[in-house]
Amino acid sequence: MDNDLYQQIYLLVKKIPQGRVATYGQIAAALGKPQGSRLVGWALSVCPNDVPWHRVINRKGMISITNRNLSKQEQANLLTQEGITVTEKAGNFWVDLDKHLWLGNL
């Protein structure tokens, strides 16, 4: 684990405002690692409690959590509590990126 890189990821994720989401790829690209989406996912799977990991989803707008001992439903609930509309289709949870994607500076 590259602790310094993980810390950079955590700082970027903390910038995502409540009620918005970013993609794993956005975070990776902001770090100059455009192929580093999985690295971002790994870092968020072990992040401290003060990092809003639930605001990061995949590039298609789907919740794709596979770690943290939490379910996709739990991540969807956290997003919904922040006013983000989450829809369920065929067992997956989706966020409308046109409406909720954060385009601010990471």
Count of structural domains, the chain: 1
CATH of the domain at 38: 1.10.10.10
- 90: pLDDT strictly greater than 60: yes
Mapped onto helix, strand or coil, the DSSP state of residue 68 is coil
Structural domain contains residue 52: yes
What pLDDT is recorded for position 31? Answer: 94
Residue 22's Cβ-count burial label (10 Å; 0-12, 13-18, 19+) is buried
> 92 pLDDT band (50/70/90 cuts)?
very high
Domain span at residue 46? Answer: 3-100
- pLDDT above 70: percentage of residues in the chain: 95
Q: Is 40 within the bounds of a domain?
A: yes
Q: Give, in order, the Cα–Cα distances in Å from 68 to each of 72, 90, 102.
A: 10, 22, 23
pLDDT tens digits, one per residue of 15-54 = 999 999 999 999 999 999 999 999 999 999 899 999 999 9
| pLDDT of 102 higher than 80 | yes
In a domain, 106, yes or no: no
Q: What burial letters (b/e) apply to 30-45, b meaning 16+ CB within 10 Å?
A: bbebeebbebbbebbe
Whether residue 70 lies inside any domain: the answer is: yes
- Tell me whether residue 92 is in a domain: yes
Residue 65 confidence (pLDDT): 81
pLDDT tens digit sequence for 52-74 = 999 999 999 999 987 666 788 99
